[in-house]
Amino acid sequence: MIPGGPGVTMNFSGDSMQRGDGSFVGQGNDDLERYRGYLRVLTEMKLNPLLRKKVDISDVVQITLTRAHRSLNTFHGQSETELRAWLRAILNHQVINLAKMYTAAKRDIRREISIDEVLHRSTTLLLPELAAEQSTPSGRMIRQELADQLADAMATLLPDERAAITFKYIDGWKVNEIAEELGRSSDAIAGLLRRGIKKLRRQIAMILEDS
């Protein structure tokens, strides 16, 4: 057992990580580290393209994880869903403060909506493309679990694949605009999109089959 904050003790047993009172904290000995990719994807979704160029997203994620580690004693959830929501709240606070530094003189609609709303919107935009041959959950609220799984799937893509998909499907950019931004040819961007979507589609198909 290791200390987890004032009056709190963490128990590591198998794949679970719990406080002394039995409440859920994380998974495995890497505890919160396993959410690094997830938090990175959320940060990329939340920031507008201009801010993504100015900000070191790795630093944003590291600060979020550091603050989460230091604040574990304030987490009282008992499920991974609650843990992810808690991490999103910490990340949202970091990103909003960061966005204010760069957009103080002008309005940025993404700064005004929460990480949860950004994740839901991104899932809504991407899912029809990914589930083209599957029965999609259109017409009803997309479950948080599915949104989280999509973010996890996005985290497994190569950086350029993820960037191309984010620009096209979340930011609404055209292929030639993405090509100019990434310094690649339009054909290269089309290839990144094709491969990235193919990878995501395989994972989403399995998720929808199990839902």
Range of the domain at 130: 114-211
**pLDDT in the model for residue 69:** 93
Query: Is 82 within the bounds of a domain?
Result: no
**pLDDT in the model for residue 127:** 81
**pLDDT in the model for residue 144:** 78
Query: Is 190 within the bounds of a domain?
Result: yes
**pLDDT in the model for residue 132:** 56
- Buried/exposed 109-122: b ≥16 CB within 10 Å, e otherwise: ebbeeebeebbbbb
Query: Is 3 within the bounds of a domain?
Result: no
Query: Mean pLDDT for each 10-residue chunk of the chain (211 residues)?
Result: 33 42 46 94 90 90 95 89 94 85 57 78 85 51 78 95 95 96 97 96 77 59
CATH for 185: 1.10.10.10
Query: Is 157 within the bounds of a domain?
Result: yes
> Phi then psi for 66, rounded to 5 degrees?
-60, -45
Query: Is 172 within the bounds of a domain?
Result: yes
Query: Is 196 within the bounds of a domain?
Result: yes
- Say which DSSP state 21 is in: T
In this prediction the pTM is 0.77
Query: Is 63 within the bounds of a domain?
Result: no
Number of H helices and E strands in the chain, helices first, is 9, 4
Query: Is 8 within the bounds of a domain?
Result: no
**pLDDT in the model for residue 162:** 96
Crossing angle (nearest 10°) for helices 144-155 and 115-130: 80
Domains in the chain, number? 1
- Give me 5's structure tokens: 């904050």
